[in-house]
């Protein structure tokens, strides 16, 4: 994957700021997530899971069945991800393309959203401390500002899944 062509979410935020542009106001949850992402220099996402038919997974795309609808687009704008892409997906609904480069319309946060997944991407041997601080910071702010019930967990080689209660 070419990082110049497909920068991760936090790189895209920093590039926008470096060009003198302001971050767009999307909604309070996404805005908070973007601020924490910038603070810890970590790719992070904000995904609506209200209508998720199965678990959300990080995996390689399956072009024969996977579909991606870009944010702000409709059913007529379906993209088929490449086989080598790392994606977040719910069933065959790809929620992010090329790991954290682009988010799907299926996972967008709305005023009616009640179940949100905030992936924070990092690597145990590179930036685990930053990930841990971001989890704690985001969790505290979500509880304080939005009175949200928080569940967090780590998925890594030793712990390949996390179950919500």
Q: What is the pLDDT along the chain (165 residues), one digit of tens a residue?
A: 666 777 788 988 999 999 999 988 999 999 999 999 999 999 999 999 998 888 888 899 999 999 999 999 988 999 999 988 999 999 999 999 988 888 999 999 999 999 999 999 998 888 999 999 999 999 999 999 999 999 998 888 887 777 776
Q: Which two tokens stand for residue 55?
A: 């678990």
pTM: 0.89
Pairing of strands 102-103, 116-117: unpaired
Residue 7: what pLDDT?
77
Domain boundaries along the sequence of the chain: 1-46+118-151, 51-107
Helix, strand, or coil here: 157? coil
| Distance from C-alpha of 8 to C-alpha of 10, rounded to nearest angstrom | 6
């Amino acid at each position: 994957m070419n990082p110049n062509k497909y920068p991760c979410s936090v790189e895209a935020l920093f590039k926008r700021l470096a060009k003198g542009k302001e971050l767009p106001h999307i909604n309070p949850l996404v805005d908070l997530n973007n601020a924490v992402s910038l603070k810890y220099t970590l790719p992070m996402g904000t995904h609506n899971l209200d209508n998720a038919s199965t678990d959300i997974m990080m995996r390689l795309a399956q072009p024969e069945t996977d579909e991606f609808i870009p944010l702000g687009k409709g059913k007529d704008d379906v993209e088929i991800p490449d086989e080598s892409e790392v994606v977040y997906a719910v069933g065959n609904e790809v929620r992010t393309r090329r790991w954290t480069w682009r988010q799907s319309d299926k996972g967008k946060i709305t005023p009616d959203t009640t179940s949100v997944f905030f992936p924070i991407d990092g690597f145990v041997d590179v930036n685990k401390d930053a990930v841990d601080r971001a989890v704690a910071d985001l969790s505290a702010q979500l509880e304080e500002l939005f009175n949200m019930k928080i569940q967090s967990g780590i998925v890594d080689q030793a712990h390949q899944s996390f179950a919500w209660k």
